[in-house]
Structure 1
Amino acid sequence: MSRDTEEALPVLYPPLRNVIGGLTFSQLIKVLKDLTAESLTTYESLTLACQNKFGLSLLYALLSQGEKLLSSGVPLEPSIGDFETWTDTIFQVAGQLSQCSLVEPLLLPSNLLTLFCRYLDKRTVHQLKSNMESATGFLALAS
């Protein structure tokens, strides 16, 4: 893997998605908090994630799983502050994704625009959609 990260990432991504798919809402929030609030400022952490194929793919997978959990109707059993952290994270991530140039992720989950539409104004969603499409070359359709 250390030889070629471009070859290793597609191999590691499916198992990573499986792990993310098994997270509870509270565990997912913890990972998102760790990803967006490391020793760097939140802005710097998100900027680095958006400019890195693995970082952006991980961020998208986490957000997509959060949306799946919230829309599933299954009781989430959140910890105190999870929903507030989730909402704050959505706003932080959306602000960053709409302002910076993005690398092409391994996968653009179809439910991301649905997630952003739930929390953000139309102008910001339109900018996000435009940025996502320019990074992937595909239409970022809400499903």
Structure 2
Amino acid sequence: MIDAVVTSRSEDDETKEKQVRDKRRKTLVIIEKTYSLLLDVEDYERRYLLSLEEERPALMDDRKHKICSMYDNLRGKLPGQERPSDDHFVQIMCIRKGKRMVARILPFLSTEQAADILMTTARNLPFLIKKDAQDEVLPCLLSPFSLLLYHLPSVSITSLLRQLMNLPQSAATPALSNPHLTAVLQNKFGLSLLLILLSRGEDLQSSDPATESTQNNQWTEVMFMATRELLRIPQAALAKPISIPTNLVSLFSRYVDRQKLNLLETKLQLVQGIR
């Protein structure tokens, strides 16, 4: 009886291991197919310059189709699905080549497509950070994500911050513990992305006095929560960011007193010249 139970468990383990192997194999196949599309798209300019005038419209259509195919491959949306599952994209991002490939694909995507990739990354970041512990490849995404933010409206920046900080979409009493946000603050890519989002969002708020009151209130709420968490986390636990926005001190000065601002400067290792 005991032997039968042990055998049964062993078979279950083998089945699960096989499922994991099959899933990884399928993900690797998708990465290779998408990478091949990426190489074709990257080679487009050379082929366009060498082509005849009458060949160029077809080349442009082919490029557009391949870019759409790359995005579809990343998100894995099935026919009839209203919204693709995050799991497909997360599996790609668990593989080193997949992360580097996503960073190269982002500049070719439409703003809407790239924003969806960023949003999906933000809400799954703690898991991706855990899977990236050995590779440390996530920072390669910081540059294309940063460029994307300059094409997004204030409301999108606020929504992204809520995803990154694991906050509800509507105002609510914040939880005493937020493991999602803690993981972000303890990772150099996560903290750098958070600071860039805060910086860009504050720039948009200050440059557009006509911003709706509701949006203004939502932004202020997010800023207060971010500031509170940055002050609460011990300095030893806070990651060293890859880069620090130059307007960081001025943007925090609207939400904290001078004493707390000095503490934030110390924690984030700001250089004296930024004051």
**Quick check: TM above 0.5?**
yes
Cα distance in 1 for partners of 2:176, 2:199 equals: 20
Residues 92-130 of structure 1, C-alpha deviations (whole Å, 9 max, x = no match): 111111221310111111111110101211121111111
Cα distance in 1 for partners of 2:217, 2:193 equals: 21
Q: Which residue number corresponds to residue 151 of structure 2? A: 22
1:92 aligns with 2:221: no
**Alpha-carbon shift at residue 33 of structure 1 (Å):** 1.6
Asked which structure has the greater CA Rg, the reply is 2
Q: Which residue number corresponds to residue 196 of structure 2? A: 61
Q: Which residue number corresponds to residue 104 of structure 1? A: 240
Native 8 Å contact 1:25 1:76 kept in 2: no
For structure 2, list consecutive stretches of 5 or more residues without a partner in the other structure: 1-92, 97-133, 169-173
Structure 1: 4+ residue segments shifted above 6 A: none
Cα distance in 1 for partners of 2:229, 2:216 equals: 20
CA RMSD of aligned residues (A): 2.5
Greater per-residue helix proportion: 2
Cα distance in 2 for partners of 1:42, 1:65 equals: 27
Cα distance in 1 for partners of 2:145, 2:227 equals: 23
Structure 2 counterpart SS, 1:23: coil
Cα distance in 1 for partners of 2:167, 2:255 equals: 24
Q: Which residue number corresponds to residue 271 of structure 2? A: 139
Cα distance in 2 for partners of 1:57, 1:129 equals: 15
Among 3, 12, 17, the residue aligned to 2:141: 12
**Alpha-carbon shift at residue 41 of structure 1 (Å):** 4.3
Q: Which residue number corresponds to residue 106 of structure 2? A: none
Identity %: 33
Among 204, 216, 232, the residue aligned to 1:83: 216
**Alpha-carbon shift at residue 75 of structure 1 (Å):** 6.0
Cα distance in 2 for partners of 1:42, 1:111 equals: 29
Q: Are residues 5 and 76 of structure 1, via their aligned partners in 2, closer, same or farther at CA, if it must alter by over 3 Å?
A: farther
Cα distance in 2 for partners of 1:47, 1:27 equals: 22
Query: What is the TM-score of this pair, normalised by structure 2?
Result: 0.44
**Alpha-carbon shift at residue 42 of structure 1 (Å):** 7.5
Query: What is the TM-score of this pair, normalised by structure 1?
Result: 0.80
Cα distance in 2 for partners of 1:55, 1:42 equals: 20
For structure 1, list consecutive stretches of 5 or more residues without a partner in the other structure: none
